[in-house]
Structure formats: C-alpha cells, structure tokens
C-alpha cells in the first residue's frame, strides 16, 4: 500500500506528524479537495490542493524530490528558492534531561512563577483518553479561544477524525479547576518529537497560569517518555504567542516558504469577521455545524 511505504519513508527521514499519509486523509475529510502528494524512490512531498498542507505548521519535502512549479511549500529547512516567512517555531531539546532540570535551568523565571501559581491555585493538569466526552470538553474551550482570536474554528468532526486516524499518537491534556475544565492542549507524538498543535483556555483564568501549567505538563510528559524534543508550533514573529513560547527556552527556528505570498491566510477578511460575529452568539453545536459547511466550500 502507498500509505505504508509513505509512512516508512517519513520515519526514516525524520518526518513530522504532518508528513504522515493520514494527515492528507484527514484534510480530505474536512476540506473540499484532494491530496496530491508526490512520492518517488528518493523523496516525498505532501501536497493538498497544490499547496503545503493546511493545518500543518510546516511540511516540507523529505529526501530528494523536485517541487512542482506553482506549489506553495513551508519548511523548517532552507531550500533553494525559499524565503523566510513571517512565522517561526520553537524547539526545546529534552533528550537526556529531567523536567526538574529544564524547569530550573531553561524555563524563564516569570514562567516558573506562573507554573507555581497554577499549583497554588489548585489547577491540575491530566492526560485524558481521546474519547468523545473529553474531546467534546476540549472542543468547547477551543471554540471559545478561536472565536476570541477572530478566527473560524474547525468543526467538532475534525477532532473526531484525528482521534480515528492518529489513535495513540495524539495526546490530550486538560486543566481542571474547581471541578471543571479551564484549559486544554492537543499534542502529537511521532518520531521522537512532541508537536504542540492546539492550545485553548478560558481567558478568565489566564492570570492563574493555566496555559503555563499546560505547557509545563507537556514538557514533563516529553521528559518522562524520553522524547528528543518538544516543538511548540508556529507563531507569527513578534506576537504575544511567540513571546509566550520563547520563555520556555526552546530554540527559535525560522519557517521558510516558497510561494507567491509571504504569509498564510490569516482569516482576517470582512466575511470572516461577519461569520465570527455570528458564531459568537451561537451555541457550540451550532458553531460546529456552520464550520463543517464553511470548510467544505472554502
């Protein structure tokens, strides 16, 4: 099967979770269009609708392969003809380190203070099974966060599909306070790397350090399971999100791109703002329904 050979090549060439064949299957279930991935005996390149994969922070070619003309690609490797994008990621090396060492010697003092504050406030973070009950709990926080940022959230179905396709490679962490969930983090573990993909929280508890506690839990988990690194995911350079991630001590890595535009679609158009305004007054099941339609016609 193509998927078996594809995934084997991905493992052998240090591919990310986005390089797995299943990511293109996932996109096909959520978006209109099809995968157009290319694989030869010397390399592979995931493509969806003639573009680097949506919902992937970066997914450049692996091995030696020619990139077709007109195809947009984002990569952490600087390749011929690529330019620096406005985005970056942060990679924290954890191999051979303990969580305590990283917390003491790598994480910024102010982040350490917030992690300790979350503990004092009684916030607890746990790894939960990827069942529908906990994914639904995560989704409510996710919708709240994405709408607050002025973006269109994914439908709930997207997270259910991720559960089916990635099984034990997807990990869900939820922060509890006073008997309810106030924050969540969705990560993927693949090829010795933890990739932080989806952070969300109830903004009322930001000053309690809920997001700090979630990221600290991810680092601790990566150390305990003896992974090599934690990738905190892409952020716009100079943004508050990039600043927040930088204080965990990871190395800033530029993301390079090849394409006509020097930025991704940031969902800031007039129609998007109108849709987001509507979604803010609709219960979350309605948000999921509208989103499912929008992503299929987008």
Instruction: Output the pLDDT for position 33.
Output: 82
- Within this chain, do residues 107 and 250 fall inside the same structural domain, yes or no? yes
Sign of CA dihedral 130, 222, 246, 12: negative
Q: Once rounded to an integer, what is the mean pLDDT over residues 71-86?
A: 92
Q: How far apart are CA 244 and CA 252, in angstroms?
A: 12
pLDDT > 70? residue 265: no
35: its two tokens: 């995968």
Full domain range(s) for residue 248: 90-254
Q: Is residue 137 part of a domain?
A: yes
**pLDDT at position 51:** 80
In a domain, 230, yes or no: yes
In a shared domain, residues 125 and 37: no
The answer to the question of residue 217 being in a domain is yes
Mean pLDDT over residues 85-93, rounded?
A: 96
What is residue 130's predicted lDDT score, i.e. its pLDDT? 84
pLDDT range class, residue 262, cuts 50, 70, 90:
very low
Same domain assignment for residues 62 and 152: no
Written as six digits, the tokens of 86 are 């406005």
State mean pLDDT over 100-116. 97
29 shares its domain with 149: no
Query: What pLDDT, on a 0 to 100 scale, did the predictor assign at position 202?
Result: 95
Please give the pLDDT value at position 264: 47
In a domain, 45, yes or no: yes
Examine the pLDDT at 192 and tell me if it is beyond 70: yes
| Rounded percentage of the chain residues whose pLDDT exceeds 70 | 96
Cβ within 8 Å of residue 1, ≥6 positions away: none
Query: CB of 210 within 8 A of CB of 123?
Result: yes
Q: How many domains does the chain have?
A: 2
Q: Which of 94, 165, 86, 164 is nearest to 131 (CA)?
A: 164
Domain assignment of residue 273, yes or no: no
Residue at a domain's end among 75, 101, 122:
75
Residue 268 located in a structural domain: no
The DSSP H or E segment spanning 39 is: strand 38-39
Query: Has residue 234 been placed in a domain?
Result: yes
Span 9-21, average pLDDT: 95
Rounded to an integer, the average pLDDT of 217-224 is 98
Question: Which SS3 state, helix, strand or coil, does residue 173 take?
Answer: strand
Residues 178 and 231 in one domain: yes
Is residue 277 included in any domain, yes or no? no
106 in the same domain as 69: no
Residues 96 and 171 in one domain: yes
Does residue 70 share a domain with residue 206?
no
């Amino acid at each position: 099967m193509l998927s078996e050979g594809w995934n084997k090549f991905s493992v052998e060439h240090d591919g990310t979770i986005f390089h797995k064949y299943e990511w293109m299957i996932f996109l096909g279930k959520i978006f209109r269009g099809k995968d157009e991935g290319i694989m030869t005996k010397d390399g592979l390149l995931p493509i969806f609708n003639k573009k680097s994969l949506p919902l992937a922070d970066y997914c450049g070619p692996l091995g030696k392969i020619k990139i077709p003309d007109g195809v947009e690609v984002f990569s952490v490797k600087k390749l011929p003809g690529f330019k620096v994008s406005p985005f970056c990621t942060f990679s924290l090396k954890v191999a051979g380190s303990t969580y305590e060492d990283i917390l003491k010697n790598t994480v910024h003092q102010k982040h350490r203070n917030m992690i300790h504050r979350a503990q004092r406030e009684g916030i607890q973070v746990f790894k939960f099974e990827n069942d529908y009950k906990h994914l639904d709990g995560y989704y409510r926080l996710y919708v709240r966060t994405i709408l607050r940022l002025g973006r269109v959230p994914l439908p709930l179905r997207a997270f259910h599909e991720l559960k089916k396709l990635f099984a034990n490679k997807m990990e869900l962490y939820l922060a509890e306070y006073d008997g309810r969930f106030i924050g969540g983090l969705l990560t993927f573990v693949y090829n010795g790397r933890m990739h932080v993909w989806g952070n969300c929280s109830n903004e009322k508890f930001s000053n309690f350090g809920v997001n700090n506690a979630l990221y600290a839990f991810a680092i601790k988990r990566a150390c305990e399971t003896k992974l090599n690194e934690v990738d905190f995911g892409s952020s716009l350079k100079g943004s508050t999100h990039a600043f927040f991630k930088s204080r965990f001590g990871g190395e800033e890595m530029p993301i390079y791109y090849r394409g006509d535009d020097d930025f991704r679609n940031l969902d800031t158009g007039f129609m998007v703002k109108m849709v987001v305004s509507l979604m803010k007054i609709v219960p979350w099941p309605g948000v999921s329904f509208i989103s499912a339609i929008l992503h299929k016609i987008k």
